[in-house]
Structure 1
């Protein structure tokens, strides 16, 4: 048998593509994640000249949704699908519970930091939004890049790059300044003339972080029983309805028979209110967490020890689940209608049903029929989603800085064909570059 040294492996052996991984891995999950990233780049890149049904609905409080409004919950759904699969690998590896909790906490904190940075770079005044954003997003990718397992030159190079990313991130955060403004910090109180980051919300990645935290803790608590997971999903949606229709425990005073438990209820209410100072309970721990839990339910049938093991059973189960989600959305429409900004139940349920139905189609094509060649572009982005996510703004910043902003001028075109074609090309470029960077060894893991 011929052996390959570590240094030779660094230069001669490329990592397998996501579709070349062992058959036990459900490749359609990576492809669905990559397709979602592709759509995310596409809709975020669209200009005003593109068709209205592709862009976020206008006005923002309208009762309805467009293609752009479906993308975010699809990503939340995929986050949920990955949770039981990751927990299965952790259990097989013998990772103890404290270590798993620490991983969940650090991943959540990382997403919160990334979420705030992606929102607040636009207010930076020291270097300017474009330069600070370019350096900041690049530093994020390098700081969280995974080192190659094999010792050798490539591992040393990425160790240096990781160190540069961490140091650069610290410096960029230290020099960050906004225009002075009075603000209130939940953990400190009123601050006058505050000039550092003061995000009004956690950003898209931050919302993913909070929802991931809620779903992960629920899965650790209730285990793998799908009826319990289903109940937890329903409770998350109930939390949203409670917080948006009077608040939690708002009618306790009228229930005299609850007087003996009033102390415990008040304690829970105080904890809930304290958490609510930092995250939206109705959204992050409510309806958005319910979307992640829906993904957890689908992911539970993809585990190697699942009783839903054959392709026929998986398709049948997922199709029934998608139909149930659509029905749930129809039944809850009377409460708040369909709206992304408000994270309404119907919007969540229907987008989740679309995500589930899309997975069924991909599963049949990719994992059952094994027609995979067409999907490599999406699979690479799906296996390395944070690289693709940050690569889009990095590219647009670079084009502007080097004087090639005209390349991105299609976003200002009034011709819908030009606007759509340009954004499709941008999304394809981002996914292709993500694949190239993955082959070179840049992989970001939280």
Structure 2
């Protein structure tokens, strides 16, 4: 089975990254409608923001079969692919841990202010993970640049002090967005290789993750000891299940690619309904909550993932209507660069004390300006990519 690039995946990734930039800016606003925001821990509620991250995990899964097939096509060995997956996953986890610790950094007890700490972190990530081979920088400097970035990260780890009272050093906490993506990518990419790229075996993997999630909710899942607790993200099943679903969507699409568009639409729509019904059936037992990772949250968001892919496939791949997405294309092709840019912007805003007048940070006007901000980040990402500066793990 040959897997060719599916344009709708890039478009879906771009839309999701655009929306992630937008919702991540909500904390700077006031009077944001409740339905747009994240639900709190004890709420039985699904806000718009609660859907974005699961959708991104789903897209990671959509891309895994294509990425591995591409590596096979250009002659990469299995051992090379195994190594590539490990390096990429660990890189995401490392970046994620630094980003999540920035949130709890304690400026008063650190050698430098937390916002300068964040800027240095973002610079270090650029120095280490920039695809320098595609940049205008001379190759003789590449190793030195990466080494300098590593030294900056080590320095930041050494001086780090966090917690409400400045009582702790760096810790994994919840791994951060990129860290969770790293874990989901790691286990699913290896599962895909181990399953020999077979649809049925990956369906079994999804059922295992969903069963683990249910056992966790029922409190039937034995707790991992302290030495293995680092694997909780995988062990609880919730996060990797989104990515497994994405893999299944790509494999199923390719299996049905010789069928009519109507058949593809009906099959994917049926799967959408099945997952949403699963979510609604489990909702009375544990509610729907992102922060609690309930089965209802997983089921409904996976259903949304299948539905989003179905609609965009029809528009982009079948109808060939893609020009409308051109403006946000960099968010789908240089996603990590796009995600990192706010880690320069927000610290600089706090350091300079810059702020729009209050009426521009509130309600509909604030939401519109945040949308413009997200678009500008994407356009700047595209500008950097054209100049040869693009992050790549």
- TM-score normalised by the chain length of structure 2: 0.88
Partners of 2:235 and 2:143 lie apart in 1 by 35
Please list the CA deviations of residues 256-284 of structure 1 after superposition, one character each: whole Å capped at 9, or x if unmatched: xxxxxxxxxxxxx9xx5466411325x66
Equivalent of residue 41 in structure 1, options 3, 18, 21: 21
Query: What's the counterpart of residue 179 of structure 2?
Result: 206
Please list the CA deviations of residues 170-194 of structure 1 after superposition, one character each: whole Å capped at 9, or x if unmatched: 333333334798xxxxxxxxxxx97
Instruction: Name the SS of the counterpart of 2:247 in structure 1.
Output: helix
Partners of 1:340 and 1:216 lie apart in 2 by 24
Please list the CA deviations of residues 44-63 of structure 1 after superposition, one character each: whole Å capped at 9, or x if unmatched: 10123211111111x32211
Q: Which has the larger radius of gyration?
A: 1
1:239-388 to 2 correspondence within 5 Å? Answer: 239-248=212-221, 273=225, 276-281=228-233, 285-301=236-252, 306=255, 308-309=257-258, 312=261, 313-388=263-338
Query: What's the counterpart of residue 37 of structure 2?
Result: 55
1:126-137 to 2 correspondence within 5 Å? Answer: 126-137=111-122
Query: What's the counterpart of residue 83 of structure 1?
Result: 64
Q: Is the 8 A contact 1:311 1:368 kept in 2?
A: no
Query: Are residues 79 and 311 of structure 1, via their aligned partners in 2, closer, same or farther at CA, if it must alter by over 3 Å?
Result: farther
Partners of 1:156 and 1:401 lie apart in 2 by 35
Which sections of structure 2, spanning at least 5 residues, go unmatched?
none
Please list the CA deviations of residues 296-337 of structure 1 after superposition, one character each: whole Å capped at 9, or x if unmatched: 10122455xx45345615434322322222222223324322
1:100-119 to 2 correspondence within 5 Å? Answer: 100-119=81-100
Which sections of structure 1, spanning at least 5 residues, go unmatched?
1-22, 182-192, 251-268
Query: What's the counterpart of residue 255 of structure 1?
Result: none
Partners of 1:160 and 1:113 lie apart in 2 by 20
RMSD, aligned α-carbons: 2.8
How far off is 1:134 after superposition? 1.2
Equivalent of residue 441 in structure 1, options 369, 388, 392: 388
Q: Is the 8 A contact 1:214 1:285 kept in 2?
A: no
1:134-213 to 2 correspondence within 5 Å? Answer: 134-149=119-134, 161-178=145-162, 196-213=169-186
Partners of 1:232 and 1:94 lie apart in 2 by 27
How many aligned residue pairs are there? 384
Q: Is the 8 A contact 1:112 1:205 kept in 2?
A: yes
Partners of 1:355 and 1:411 lie apart in 2 by 35
Partners of 2:87 and 2:227 lie apart in 1 by 18
How far off is 1:246 after superposition? 2.9
Q: Is the 8 A contact 1:42 1:423 kept in 2?
A: yes
Query: What's the counterpart of residue 228 of structure 1?
Result: 201
Query: What's the counterpart of residue 189 of structure 1?
Result: none
Query: What's the counterpart of residue 99 of structure 1?
Result: 80
Partners of 1:363 and 1:156 lie apart in 2 by 43
Please list the CA deviations of residues 146-181 of structure 1 after superposition, one character each: whole Å capped at 9, or x if unmatched: 12359x756567666545433433333333334798
Query: Are residues 234 and 171 of structure 1, via their aligned partners in 2, closer, same or farther at CA, if it must alter by over 3 Å?
Result: same
Query: What's the counterpart of residue 12 of structure 1?
Result: none
